[in-house]
Every structure is written in structure tokens, then in C-alpha cells.
Amino acid sequence: MHGEYKVPGGKLVVVDLDVVDGALARVRVAGDFFLEPDEAILAIDRALEGAPADTDASGLAARIDAALPPGTQMFGLTTEGIGVAVRRALAHATDWTDYDWQLIHEPPQDPALHMALDEVLTTEVAAGRRPPTLRVWEWGAPAVVIGSFQSLRNEVDPEAAGRHGIRVVRRISGGGAMFIEPGNTITYSLSVPDALVQGLSFTDSYAYLDDWVLGALGDMGVKAWYQPLNDIATEAGKIAGAAQKRMVTGGGAVLHHVTMAYDIDADKMTEVLRIGREKLSDKGTRSAKKRVDPLRRQTGLPREAVIERMIGSFRQRYGLTEGGITEEELALAKELAESKFSSEEWTARVP
């Protein structure tokens, strides 16, 4: 069995192993990480030998921690990361480069249609009718996108939203409300087969699916990191939030989408969103305006250039073919946008 895992912000860990009588056997750990002293790699292999095959990543990491020579130094590597690589080998997880990725980047769409496209495209990936897809959104109108389980009245001031011509839509994933203005927002979705995240915990899958964008931001001079569970942060403030939805039909698929602040009208945002003290209490600031530090200021680049560099980074890592939404997918999405995502029943399903 073979498993690979790139430690977020670190290096690639590769594990080859067998399972004999329910235990790990012939374990070999490798990768492009740095490790001192040399004999530590042998200690890691020995620690994993004989471990029950159902041991979780944390349990495997604990075995390694107990076996490492005193003074061991790891660079680009963590014992938890090794444990994840083992779990991915046991789960027969796939890798990014096992797929022919398709890019969708089309003209601006209505907010409700964007919600529907996420559901339709990810369902198509689960059914095997569509390749894994990176979709970069262009917004046709301002909006507030609330999470699947959020209370509508707790999150949005309807009078302020109406005054500013902002529509409220509800997405299928959980998480918090996103304030959208077309020229100030960068949003993308990944629709991926479930096999890509096999062996990863729910928490680890967030960082794993966005490691490429951290690299792209780094190339633009933005030092960013994942702040669990679902924020992309910098020293100057948050720049993005992520959310996921798991599809269990067909072969299974994961929708992972991210909204990034390119610029922001913080005064308008705080008028429209009901951002309470409790929500901000764990963020280290009293002001919602200070929580977000837009990419426009941090990169000095036009929005289109930021998007182009992000796409280029993904293509360089994993390959990416230009594609589009099929007529059948668009028809399904339009029907769903009208019947579900534009309906009061869905938008106010949690009043």
C-alpha cells in the first residue's frame, strides 16, 4: 500500500507498507523533508511496525513520538503528518496528480445560480460524469451568503440589505455568513472525488485542499496560513473563509469552496451583517472591521492578476485543462436555482 500527504506549509511524506494479520508490516517512510539525526528515520519505521491497522493518525503519531531519539529535529515534517500518510495508504487514497483537473471560469452569474452550480457540479463529480473541477466564480450581483445552518434573522439586517440592494442566499455547506461585492471578492470551488481526502480527518481536509492557494499567496508576497477550522489568515488579519459539503451519492465527492477578500467596504458589511460580540470574542479584536485584511492592500495587484496567479499556481502543481459548464449541467442548475436557492422555504429554513 502506498500513501502520500503534503504537510500543510511543509514537505511531502510518502509511506509504503503492508498489512499482515491486522498489523502494519514492512513500513518505509520517505519524503523531501529534513530530519536529524539520520537514525531517526529508522526509529520511525520501527515505531510503526506492528501497529494495529485501525490505529488513528494521532495514535500512530504517539508511537513515533515515544520512539524518536532524544534531540530529534524535524523540518517540514510532523509525526501527525506521518500518521496521516499511513492512514491514506490504508484507505487507498488518491493524489492530486492522479486526476485530469478541469477549470471553469465563466462570466458573472446570479448568486442563486452559483449556489446551484456548486451542488450540481459536485454531484456530477460524485457520479463520475465530470472530472475533478476548480471553478472560479464571477459574481453578477452583491449578496450575503449564509451557511446551511445559520439563522437568517440572526445573521442579516434585512432593512440594511434592502437599502444596499444586497440579496441573501443560503448555501448547502455549513460555516458563517460571507459578505459579497463583485469587485471586492474572489471565490472558488473545488469539486473533488471522495478518494482524494480518504484518510484525512474533517479538519485536516480543509488545510489539505487549500495548501495550493497558500503557495500561490506566498508567491505574491503574502505569508498566509490555515487557522483551524476554516480560516486563511495572515499577520495583518483574516483574508478568507472556507466551507465544505460531503456528497454521499455515487462514488462520493467533496465540495470545498472559499471566499477571499480582495477589497472590502467594512462599513457597509457591518451594517448588513449582524456580527455580535460573541462571534468576535475568540478573534482577538473588538471590531469586525479589523478582522479582515484584503488582498488588494497586501499584494498591490489588480483582482484579475490575483486570480490569474492563483490559477497558474494550481496548473503548475497539478495540471489544469480549460473547460466549461455543459448544457445539461446549466439546465439542472437553473432549475435548482429557481426551485430551491431562490425560494423563501430554503433561504429561511432556519428563520
Reading the block at residue 197, the C-alpha cell is 481526502
pLDDT at 332 over 80: yes
Q: Identify the pLDDT of residue 121.
A: 98
Name the pLDDT band for 279 (thresholds 50, 70, 90): low
Q: Identify the pLDDT of residue 277.
A: 38
Q: Identify the pLDDT of residue 291.
A: 59
Mean pLDDT of 77-105: 97
Which residues does residue 237 pair with via DSSP β-bridges, in sequence order?
234
DSSP label at 101? -
* The residue to which cell 515534517 is assigned: 77
Amino acid residing at 212: W
Mean pLDDT of 69-96: 96
Name the pLDDT band for 166 (thresholds 50, 70, 90): very high
Mean pLDDT of 118-134: 98
- In terms of DSSP bridges, do strands 12-20 and 102-105 run parallel, antiparallel, or are they unpaired? unpaired
* The residue to which cell 487549500 is assigned: 210
* The residue to which cell 439586517 is assigned: 157
Name the pLDDT band for 229 (thresholds 50, 70, 90): confident
pLDDT at 206 over 80: yes
Q: Identify the pLDDT of residue 323.
A: 97
Where b means 16+ CB within 10 Å and e means fewer, 143-173 reads: bbbbbeebebeebbbeebbeebebbbbbbbb
The Cα angle at residue 207 between residues 109 and 241, in degrees rounded to 5:
40
Task: Write the pLDDT tens digit of every residue in 237-263.
Answer: 899 999 999 999 899 999 999 999 999
DSSP label at 338? I
pLDDT at 179 over 50: yes
Reading the block at residue 238, the C-alpha cell is 483574516
Task: Write the pLDDT tens digit of every residue in 18-71.
Answer: 999 999 999 999 999 999 999 999 999 999 999 999 999 999 999 999 999 999
Task: Write the pLDDT tens digit of every residue in 5-16.
Answer: 999 889 999 999
Global confidence as pTM: 0.91
CA dihedral over 281, 226, 254, 347, signed as positive or negative: positive
Reading the block at residue 295, the C-alpha cell is 488582498
Where b means 16+ CB within 10 Å and e means fewer, 315-349 reads: eebbebeebebeeebbebbbebbeebbbeeebbee
